[in-house]
């Protein structure tokens, strides 16, 4: 693509964007308030978006608040990521028909309309990039994920109000939008009024912008965007020191901190379910009395005792080994498999951990006493 098209839109531009995407056949999803949280949901107009709604997050705590702020996107991330739209929590892989020697395996075709995400966060865009490697570019790509991802339209909105649990600056995934979007929006609510800078990142995004219209972006609006991103970066106090982190964790598999965290961890699996990059799944074959069988896939969690079950019992029988597996996979062995970290710094696992366990704090504690290997109980 030639130089990316960029325009300045009024708030009516968001209204028109939603209508235009729906007109192109997309199922348009955006952030909506439901069950006390901001989560992806159907958006038919900008009135469905969370105007003046903010999220107040800390380890183990999430609350919404409202004020007269006209912003539509002044919040960080909620408990549900966009992953669920492309890699659903439950899906039928195939069905069988016929019986005996006549049995046939019939793949289940996905008939969902292509999805348009309006309001994904830069860290979530980075998470989709990771899932593209894991599920889309592996030796055996996941057909459902690959098809939905290829058809999806992603309009990312740059972050103006990170949560105290966010650490995307450490992971290089925000608050500015990186590569991989169709449109990148920056919401401006300064003296110049309520406006959006919209930039195209793909040929589809470019054609959408061409149809949307808008004005050229004046230098003052670019300055406003730069200040907004600077403020967002400065507001992000949580850090993960990634320098040599993969090797640090790999050589500290017997560190006593794993015992310490195991005493707090409930092994509930919340952290894996809210994580936008966790991809563990399990398969169940379910038959009825006619002999027809469905193979169903469902999300699973490495915190589940049964997840590492082999003959004779689970390989990871202790909470210590399951937390260690999760954290070292995210921050160490993921590099060996996929040449990237498995974490984008969204902070969800910190907020939605019922006991407020913080992956950045655990990694920092291990770094602080690198090489300590005294075990209390000799467990695996
Ligand atoms: S490990 Fe935690 S902070 Fe990292 S991407 Fe997953 S949920 Fe977000
Ligand atoms: S770290 Fe927290 S969210 Fe994850 S399994 Fe343990 S208690 Fe649950």
Cα of 352 vs centre of ligand 2, distance in Å, is 8
What is the pLDDT, as a whole number, of residue 380?
46
From residue 363, how far is each of 238, 257, 357, 368 by CA, in Å? 12, 9, 11, 9
- The pTM (predicted TM-score) of the whole model is 0.94
Beta strand segments in the chain, E = 6-10, 27-34, 37-42, 53-58, 61-66, 90-97, 104-107, 115-120, 153-157, 183-188, 195-200, 281-287, 293-299, 309-310, 313-314
Tell me the ligand closest to 350's alpha carbon.
1
Q: What is the pLDDT of residues 109-144, one digit of tens each?
A: 888 899 999 999 999 999 999 999 999 998 889 999
Does the C-beta of 330 come closer than 6 Å to ligand 1? Answer: yes
Q: What are residue 7's DSSP bridge partners?
A: 198
Cα of 269 vs centre of ligand 2, distance in Å, is 6
Q: Which residues sit with their C-beta closer than 6 Å to ligand 2?
A: 265-271, 303, 353-355, 357
From residue 14, how far is each of 43, 121, 229, 285, 348 by CA, in Å? 11, 16, 21, 44, 27
What is the pLDDT, as a whole number, of residue 101?
83
Cα of 217 vs centre of ligand 2, distance in Å, is 45
Does the C-beta of 331 come closer than 6 Å to ligand 1? Answer: no
Q: Tell the residue nearest (CA) to atom 4 of ligand 1.
A: 343
What is the pLDDT, as a whole number, of residue 4?
84
Q: What is the pLDDT of residues 234-245, one digit of tens each?
A: 999 999 999 999
Q: Any idea where the domains of the chain sit in the sequence?
A: 6-88+111-235, 245-280+303-368
Q: Tell the residue nearest (CA) to atom 6 of ligand 2.
A: 265
In eight-state DSSP terms, residue 112 is P
Which residues touch 44 (CB under 8 Å, ≥6 apart)? 18, 22, 28
Burial of 295 (C-beta count, 10 Å sphere; 0-12/13-18/19+): middle
What are the mean pLDDT values of the chain's consecutive 10-residue runs (380 residues total)? 83 95 97 97 95 98 97 97 96 88 87 94 97 92 94 97 97 94 96 94 96 95 97 96 97 96 97 97 90 92 92 92 98 95 98 98 96 61
In eight-state DSSP terms, residue 113 is P
CA atoms within 13 A on the CB side of 256: 8
CA-closest candidate to residue 360, choices 169, 198, 189, 158 = 169
What is the pLDDT, as a whole number, of residue 312?
87
Tell me the ligand closest to 303's alpha carbon.
2
What is the pLDDT, as a whole number, of residue 100?
79
Helix (H) or strand (E) holding 15: helix 11-23
Q: What is the pLDDT of residues 263-290, one digit of tens each?
A: 999 999 999 999 999 999 999 999 888 8
């Amino acid at each position: 693509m030639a130089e990316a098209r960029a325009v300045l839109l009024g708030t009516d531009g968001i209204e028109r964007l939603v209508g235009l995407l729906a007109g192109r056949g997309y199922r348009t999803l955006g952030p909506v308030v439901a069950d006390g949280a901001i989560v992806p949901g159907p958006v038919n107009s900008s009135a469905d978006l969370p105007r003046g709604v903010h999220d107040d997050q800390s380890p183990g705590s999430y609350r919404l608040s409202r004020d007269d702020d006209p912003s539509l996107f002044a919040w960080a991330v909620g408990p549900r990521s966009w992953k669920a739209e492309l890699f659903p929590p439950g899906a039928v892989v195939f069905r069988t028909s016929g019986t005996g020697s006549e049995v046939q395996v019939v793949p289940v075709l996905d008939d969902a309309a292509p999805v348009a995400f309006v309001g994904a966060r830069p860290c979530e865009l980075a998470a989709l990039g990771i899932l593209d490697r894991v599920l889309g570019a592996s030796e055996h790509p996941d057909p459902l994920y690959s098809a939905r991802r290829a058809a999806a339209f992603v309009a990312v909105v740059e972050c103006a109000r990170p949560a105290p649990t966010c650490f995307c600056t450490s992971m290089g995934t925000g608050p500015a939008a990186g590569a991989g979007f169709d449109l990148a929006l920056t919401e401006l609510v300064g003296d110049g009024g309520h406006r959006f800078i919209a930039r195209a990142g793909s040929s589809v995004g470019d054609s959408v912008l061409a149809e949307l219209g808008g004005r050229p972006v004046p230098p003052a609006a670019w300055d406003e965007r730069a200040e907004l991103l600077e403020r967002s970066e400065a507001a992000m106090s949580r850090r993960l020191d990634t320098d040599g982190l993969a090797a640090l964790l790999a050589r500290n598999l017997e560190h006593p901190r794993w015992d310490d965290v195991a005493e707090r961890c409930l092994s509930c699996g919340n952290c894996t379910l809210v994580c936008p990059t966790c991809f563990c799944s399990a398969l169940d074959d379910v038959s009825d009395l006619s002999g027809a069988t469905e193979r169903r896939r469902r999300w699973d969690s490495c915190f589940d005792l049964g997840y590492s079950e082999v003959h004779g019992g689970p390989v990871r029988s202790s909470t210590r080994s399951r937390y260690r597996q999760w954290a070292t996979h995210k921050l160490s062995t993921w590099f060996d498999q996929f040449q990237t970290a498995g974490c984008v710094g969204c902070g969800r696992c910190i907020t939605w951990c019922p006991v407020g366990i913080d992956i950045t704090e655990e990694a920092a504690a291990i770094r602080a006493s690198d090489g300590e290997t005294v075990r209390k109980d000799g467990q695996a």
